[in-house]
């Protein structure tokens, strides 16, 4: 039975991804800072701060002790902050880098070693359409996700000969905690820019991400965006 780790699995997209994988017969280990309410015989919650290296390595060791392998890592945990560049506190930028970039780094590094040993594995890093759009008012957030995209490409190049694929998937606004603080007008403008005037449903985002493990046709190091970027 295939084994997956999903970060940020307590709610929103992370939980929806966990539920999808469980429905497809996977064993799923969910990493989150808060208590998780998802109950399933093949779901194992872990209290993890992805920005803390020791926390991540301990949790990954626990997964390997229980399951013996990891076939899929989805780096979904993330944080956002919308503010003008000149008004964004350095502490905010550091916090976003800690969760979005270092969180992906710590998990990829810990899980990647196991995948190299087993000569197989898939890593999916979550990014955003705000990166290629260079979205105004989100400098710190965009920078942290741009770092994730760069990490994706370099990791793919380093691991391509060892059976490990590393890709990234970029989404537009979803109805999650990350976007509910953003004004409806701003979300509407962004959705228009990416050719999705009706927005993106959670189920649509899950199906787009799931193509990475259901129909793995893209080359390692690929970054796919849900939407038409102009």
- pLDDT tens track for 111-159: 999 999 999 999 999 999 999 999 999 999 999 999 999 999 999 999 9
Q: Give 86's DSSP letter.
A: G
Q: Are 33 and 48 a contacting pair, CB within 8 Å?
A: yes
pLDDT digit string, tens, across residues 41-50: 999 999 999 9
User: What sign has the CA pseudo-torsion 198, 203, 209, 211?
Assistant: negative
The pTM of this model reads 0.95
CA of residue 95 relative to chain centroid, distance: 17
Cα 129 to Cα 127: distance, rounded to the nearest angstrom = 7
**CATH (residue range 3-225):** 3.40.50.720
Whole-number pLDDT of residue 108: 98
Strand order in the sheet with 223-225: 43-47, 27-32, 3-7, 72-75, 121-128, 164-171, 223-225
Catalytic residue among 43, 101, 141, 213: 141
Give the whole-angstrom CA distance, residue 5 versus residue 26.
10
Is 141 catalytic? The answer is: yes
Distance, CA of 85 to chain centre: 24
Average pLDDT estimate for 30-54: 97
Supply the pLDDT for residue 160.
92
Please state the rounded mean pLDDT for residues 85-91. Answer: 97
Q: State the average pLDDT over residues 219-227.
A: 96
- In this structure, what token pair is assigned to residue 46? 């872990």
Q: Answer yes or no: is pLDDT of 7 > 80.
A: yes
> In terms of Cα–Cα distance, which of 11, 36, 169, 31 is closest to 110?
31
Instruction: Give the model's pLDDT for residue 195.
Output: 87
């Amino acid at each position: 039975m295939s084994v997956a780790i999903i970060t940020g699995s307590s709610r929103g997209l992370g939980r929806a991804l966990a539920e999808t994988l469980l429905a497809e017969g996977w064993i799923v280990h969910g990493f989150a800072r808060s208590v998780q309410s998802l109950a399933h015989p093949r779901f194992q919650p872990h209290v993890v701060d992805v920005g803390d290296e020791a926390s991540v390595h301990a949790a990954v060791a626990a997964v390997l002790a229980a399951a013996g392998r990891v076939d899929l890592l989805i780096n979904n945990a993330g944080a956002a902050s919308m503010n003008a560049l000149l008004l964004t506190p350095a502490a905010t930028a550091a916090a976003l880098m800690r969760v979005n970039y270092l969180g992906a780094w710590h998990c990829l590094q810990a899980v990647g070693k196991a995948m190299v040993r087993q000569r197989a594995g898939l890593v999916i890093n979550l990014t955003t359409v705000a990166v290629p759009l260079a979205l105004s008012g989100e400098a710190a957030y965009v920078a942290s996700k741009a770092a994730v995209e760069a990490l994706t490409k370099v990791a793919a190049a380093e691991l391509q000969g060892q059976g490990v694929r590393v890709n990234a998937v970029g989404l537009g606004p979803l109805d999650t905690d990350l976007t509910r603080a953003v004004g409806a007008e701003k979300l509407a403008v962004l959705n228009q820019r990416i050719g999705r005037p009706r927005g993106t449903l959670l189920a649509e985002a899950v199906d787009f991400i799931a193509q990475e493990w259901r129909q793995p046709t893209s080359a390692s190091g690929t970054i796919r965006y849900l939407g038409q970027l102009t």
